[in-house]
Amino acid sequence: MRIIGRFILIDVLIRLRYIKLSKERSFELKFNKYFATLFSKYKIMPIISSKGKNMPESPIRKLVPYAEAAKKEGKKIYQLNIGQPDIKSPQVALDAVKNNTIDVLAYSRSEGSEEYREKISNYYKKNRIPIEANEIIVTTGGSEALLFAMGTIADQGDEIIIPEPFYANYNGFATASGVNIVPVISKIEDNFALPPISEFEKLITSKTKAIIICNPGNPTGYLYSKEEIQKLASIVLKHDLFLISDEVYREFTYDGAEHYSILQEESLSENGIIIDSVSKRYSMCGARIGCLVSKNKQIISTALKFAQARLSPPTYAQIASEAALETPQSYFDEVIVEYKDRRDTLVSHLQKIPGVKVGVPKGAFYCIVELPISNSDVFAQWLLESFDLNGETIMVAPAAGFYSSKNVGLNQIRIAYVLKKEDLIKAVNILKIALEQYQD
């Protein structure tokens, strides 16, 4: 040990002398180089970025290792944690890929193929959203559209206000983009309705660039009304902000409620950006196709530069997504009936459990559930590691990761009702028994 210690000391002295003598480069550079050399010699890793360190784990996926271990033990797991629909993708979309005859799987245009964008424009017009093909950029999922949107409107240190709880990956996209999320709390007691506009107004600073909403909401299932969208329109116009609306669950609304898009509001033509995706609409999460939509030409031309840097969205998946637009209305009618039935079953069974509170979703296929426990992270892990009911357990998403405020949502979980009704009933029963046995 003493010999190694002496060697390191001599090594340091020689190198420091070298640093002092050399005038060609900055001290800092040599200092870094010295430590890089030293670290590689003693097998210490170079340092990763603070951005990387700050990147949050996905609350939806972080329990996967525990679930894998539980499965290896032979437990059956009802997966309520992830929004992967069990609904079949439209046959037209699958056939379009199977039957196509392309010989070269080439890049497409960066903004997406012309034919596909024309058809998306028709889809929007059918939904009373006046969008032209040149106001659409096809992306690799709604995820990339979110990244492009943040990159297009915000600089390092800029702020975006988001009602929370919100789709957990907004935290990750904001970190990757150097943007700070400023949360405004919506409450389970109000079913997660839009917080008063005065609450937004209090948070606006010179760094605020946008408000993001998710409509209908993941994880809340809340569907903003036309009046709420108009209130948001007035505040973004008053303060010169963008309004980004994540509308990937547009079709999933219940009880006859209609979705109202921000781009149905004419006043938002310069300020509005829609994030969209085929993932949930057509149960095509693996296609990885979405789009960014705006009537603001500068937004489109700037987002296009991000799109050019990554070359193009996937070609086969655009073929499938283009064909999916031919999906008959009957497909959606059946899917909506199915989800509504699941929602009703889930909510009514949850409401029977003592101490459980649930926000009733008006859209999408998620709900936030408040449990009589203190920490849902611990509880969710316990469900996988230490609990089963006749060899079965459930996997849920702890809700704290859907908030950016610290220590909020600790007693909440998010449930995705993407399982068949019978399985949902079994899953809620497992939750009930687990709560009875759990020692908080």
Ligand X SMILES: Cc1ncc(COP(=O)(O)O)c(C=O)c1O
Q: Residues in the site for ligand X, rule: CB under 6 A?
A: 83, 141-143, 167, 214, 218, 246, 248, 277, 279, 285, 290
Q: In whole angstroms, how close is the CB of 169 to ligand X at the nearest point?
A: 7
Q: In whole angstroms, how close is the CB of 276 to ligand X at the nearest point?
A: 8
Q: In whole angstroms, how close is the CB of 285 to ligand X at the nearest point?
A: 5
Asked if the bond preceding 398 is cis, omega within 30° of 0, the reply is: no
The phi and psi torsions of 325 (rounded to 5 degrees) equal -65, -15
What tokens appear for 418 in the block? Answer: 């993407």
Q: Which is nearer to ligand X, 30 or 61 (CB)?
A: 61
Give the whole-angstrom CA distance, residue 248 versus residue 217: 9
Contacts of 286 (CB under 8 A, 6+ apart): none
Q: In whole angstroms, how close is the CB of 433 to ligand X at the nearest point?
A: 29
Q: What angle do CA 353, 356, 359 make, to 5 degrees?
A: 120
Q: What sections of 359-420 are H helices per DSSP?
A: 376-385
Nearest Cα neighbor of 321 from 199, 106, 140 is 140
Q: Which is nearer to ligand X, 117 or 426 (CB)?
A: 117
Q: In whole angstroms, how close is the CB of 366 to ligand X at the nearest point?
A: 8
Give the whole-angstrom CA distance, residue 321 versus residue 88: 14
Q: In whole angstroms, how close is the CB of 272 to ligand X at the nearest point?
A: 16
Q: What is the DSSP string of 310-370?
A: T----HHHHHHHHHHTT--HHHHHHHHHHHHHHHHHHHHHHHTSTT-EEPPPSBTTEEEEE
Q: Which is nearer to ligand X, 111 or 388 (CB)?
A: 111
Q: Which is nearer to ligand X, 59 or 373 (CB)?
A: 59
Are the C-beta atoms of residues 83 and 366 closer than 8 Å to each other?
Answer: yes
Q: Which is nearer to ligand X, 271 or 279 (CB)?
A: 279
Q: In whole angstroms, how close is the CB of 220 to ligand X at the nearest point?
A: 10
- Residue with CB nearest ligand X? 141
Q: Which is nearer to ligand X, 70 or 398 (CB)?
A: 398
Q: How far, in whole angstroms, is CA 270 from its chain's centroid?
A: 24
Q: Which is nearer to ligand X, 75 or 117 (CB)?
A: 117
